[in-house]
Amino acid sequence: MAQRICLKNLSFLVGIAALSLGMAKIALAEDYKRTVITDPSISRRCELLTEKRAEKIANKQRILALIERNKHLQSITPDNKVTVKRKLETNLGHLQHELILTQTQIQYQEENIVRKGCPGIAL
């Protein structure tokens, strides 16, 4: 009986210790938020950079979808449609080139975000 009470008290104390540790972490996070530099010009610049990056990523997704669609169309196009197949192949080459350019632009945007020193940005 005494061991049960001791174990209950011990588990209760461990729970309180874990709770207080969690509160300490929250307090540190709150203190960190107050000390972070929040210059409006930096915030606006960082917002613009992240919006541009998001646009480039959306463009990349569209290009990837078009590439998949093009490959599907190439696979279902009959062999006797030579001009259609040739145009699809040409179009695929252009799409792949656009994808490479977009990936380069995304990489540049990410480097620019890091270089400009945007606080709290997770890429």
Check whether 115 has a pLDDT greater than 90: no
Q: Which two tokens stand for residue 12?
A: 């209760």
Residue 106 · residue 53 · CB < 8 Å: yes
Q: Which two tokens stand for residue 14?
A: 């461990």
Domain ranges of the chain: 1-35, 39-123
CATH architecture of structural domain 39-123: Up-down Bundle (1.20)
Residue pair 14/84 in contact (Cβ under 8 Å)? The answer is no
> Distance between CA atoms of 97 and 103, rounded to whole angstroms?
10
Its pTM stands at: 0.64
CB atoms within 10 A of CB 71: 13
Distance set, CA 80 to CA 17, 20, 37 (Å): 76, 75, 65
- How confident is the model over 63-113, as pLDDT tens digits? 999 999 999 999 999 999 999 999 999 999 999 999 999 999 999 999 988
Say yes or no to pLDDT of 17 above 70.
Answer: no
**What's residue 44's pLDDT?**
85
Residue 33 pLDDT:
56
